[in-house]
Amino acid sequence: MNTGLAETLSVALLVLVLAGAVVRPFGWPEAVVAVPAAAVVIGTGAISLEHAQAEAERLGPVIGFLAAVLVLAQLCDDEGLFQACGAWMARSAKGQPRRLLVQVFAGASAITAVLSLDATVVLLTPVVFATAARLGARPKPHVYACTHLSNTASLLLPVSNLTNLLAFAASGLSFTRVAGLLALPWLAAIAAEYGVFRYFFATDLDTGTQAPVAAEPLKIPVFALVTVACTLAGFVLTSAVGINPAWAAFAGALVLAVRALTRRRTSAAALVRSASLPFLAFVLALGIVVRAVVDNGLDTALSGLIPDGTGLVALLGIAALAAVLANVINNLPAVLVLLPLTAPSGPGAVLAVLLGVNIGPNLTYAGSLATLLWRRIVQAHDTEVDLREFTRLGLLAVPASLLLAVPALWASLAVIGGG
């Protein structure tokens, strides 16, 4: 196949795959469109078999890690971790919507960082709906916070987001070094989001105040919390000794799975479902289609747009480019495209890409798969998301977060070092 035809076919299939993920016709999983598309680019020669195999080998450990974290998050939910979080929010909010927003920001940021953004979107959002209703508060500010923080607050750890796992592998840094470099940008981005939310939802936050709800016994799932803490320690330990941290995630999921199976709180079939195998297949297929697009000219087109170096201006340019690309083709394809182009400049450039692809998707529905999933969950609660309102909020939050987070990354690189 000639280069022009291969480029056209690859781009068309990427658009088709992303459209299938956004629309999900007939409720089909994303993989229903993505897997055949990957087969087409391989079968027609738009991507060589060697490159397709190399992409699969690169994504394999990342996909395994994602599967383990998804199972771990579901088992934590089965243990009552998210219900406990909701009860804590209700107690500490004391009937005040503004206090509830603080609790949602704290809870969503911690859950996103430790158990991944999918846990915040799928498991915490319904809890926030119920908590707001119980307090008589308008749910919108708190529910919108779930989707924004599922993206923004996923900056902290390599395990927080699939894009982080990919950047972690490309950076060449240890688990603790990545977390150390991203801690300040993480705090800066969350602080910017909070300030924007207080301003944007001022009317909603001043409405619905009531007397504090009656305190309920707070059932803390100690076993789940200890397991999660040990898993986090395992991430640090395995990274330090050169072992894939996926094994720590697998161990944590295994401990909770054995406990749940023994107590008959779950089944083997439920554990397999929680791993979301169709979504994992989608990620692999999408990676192959994106690699075909890159091989057929996208890397050349973008390479001239990427600033040189890792100075503050260069980092701002890289993050802005990543944010724009995430909203054009979704953040997962964006990071797959940009990482090979920025990795030669060093870890600082890779982490700037991460800031862009994690914060940027708060601008549009299609920016990340998490936002698309959040929208479906909100609609299931008989609440509509207004496109104009969502975009206006994003136009305030995304630039504010990037303008604080990128200088924070630059400062962290200067103090800690990216080597």
Amino acid 419: pLDDT: 54
Task: Evaluate if residue 211 carries a pLDDT over 60.
Answer: no
Range of 48's domain?
3-416
SS3 212: coil
306 C-beta neighbours (distance < 10 Å), count? 17
Residue of 161, 159, 162, 148 lying closest to 190 (CA atoms): 148
Report the chain's mean pLDDT, rounded to a whole number. 87
Report the C-alpha gap between 54 and 83 in whole angstroms. Answer: 42
Task: Please give the residue that has the higher pLDDT: either 41 or 368.
Answer: 41
Task: Please give the residue that has the higher pLDDT: either 143 or 162.
Answer: 143
Task: Evaluate if residue 324 carries a pLDDT over 90.
Answer: yes
Q: What six digits make up the tokens of 141?
A: 């500010």
Q: How many domains does the chain have?
A: 1
Amino acid 135: pLDDT: 81
Element (H, E) at 65: helix 49-78
Task: Please give the residue that has the higher pLDDT: either 118 or 75.
Answer: 75
Amino acid 208: pLDDT: 60
- With contact defined as beta carbons under 8 Å apart, do 266 and 78 qualify? yes
Task: Evaluate if residue 154 carries a pLDDT over 90.
Answer: yes
Task: Evaluate if residue 312 carries a pLDDT over 90.
Answer: yes
Confidence grade of residue 210 (pLDDT, cut at 50, 70, 90): low
Task: Evaluate if residue 189 carries a pLDDT over 90.
Answer: yes
Q: What six digits make up the tokens of 362?
A: 């708060």
Amino acid 356: pLDDT: 96
Q: Which residues contact 395 (CB under 8 A, 6 or more apart)?
A: 363
Phi then psi dihedrals of residue 82, to 5 deg: -75, -35
Mean pLDDT within 243-267:
89
pTM for this one? 0.81
Q: Which of 2-11, 30-39, 44-53 is least confident? A: 2-11
Mean pLDDT within 360-389:
80
Amino acid 238: pLDDT: 82
Tens digits of residue pLDDT in 337-357: 899 889 999 999 999 999 999
Please give the torsion angle defined by the CA atoms of residues 226, 231, 234 and 236, in that order, rounded to the nearest 10 degrees: -100
Task: Please give the residue that has the higher pLDDT: either 209 or 316.
Answer: 316
Confidence grade of residue 387 (pLDDT, cut at 50, 70, 90): confident
Could you tell me how far CA 216 lies from the centroid of its own chain?
A: 32
Helix boundaries (H) for 79-218: 81-93, 97-115, 117-118, 125-135, 140-152, 162-171, 175-200, 202-205
Amino acid 130: pLDDT: 82
Report the C-alpha gap between 288 and 59 in whole angstroms. Answer: 10
Task: Please give the residue that has the higher pLDDT: either 384 or 293.
Answer: 293
Task: Tell me the percentage of the chain whose pLDDT exceeds 90.
Answer: 41
Report the C-alpha gap between 99 and 104 in whole angstroms. Answer: 9
Tokens 């981005």, located at residue: 189
Task: Evaluate if residue 169 carries a pLDDT over 60.
Answer: yes
Tens digits of residue pLDDT in 106-116: 999 998 998 88
Amino acid 212: pLDDT: 55
Amino acid 108: pLDDT: 92
Mean pLDDT within 152-175:
88
Residue environment code for 324-360, b if the CB has 16+ CB neighbours within 10 A, otherwise e: ebbbebbbbbbbbbbbebbbebbbbbbbbbbbbbbbb
Residue environment code for 67-78, b if the CB has 16+ CB neighbours within 10 A, otherwise e: bbbbbbbbbbbb
Tens digits of residue pLDDT in 89-104: 888 887 788 999 999 9
Residue of 91, 188, 88, 106 lying closest to 142 (CA atoms): 106
Burial class of residue 299 (count of CB atoms within 10 Å of its CB; 0-12, 13-18, 19+): middle
Confidence grade of residue 52 (pLDDT, cut at 50, 70, 90): very high
Task: Please give the residue that has the higher pLDDT: either 419 or 141.
Answer: 141
Report the C-alpha gap between 290 and 38 in whole angstroms. Answer: 9
Supply angle C-alpha 288, 286, 248, rounded to 5.
95
Task: Tell me the percentage of the chain whose pLDDT exceeds 70.
Answer: 96
Confidence grade of residue 215 (pLDDT, cut at 50, 70, 90): low
Mean pLDDT within 69-75:
86
Task: Evaluate if residue 273 carries a pLDDT over 70.
Answer: yes
Report the C-alpha gap between 182 and 178 in whole angstroms. Answer: 6
Rg (CA), the chain: 21
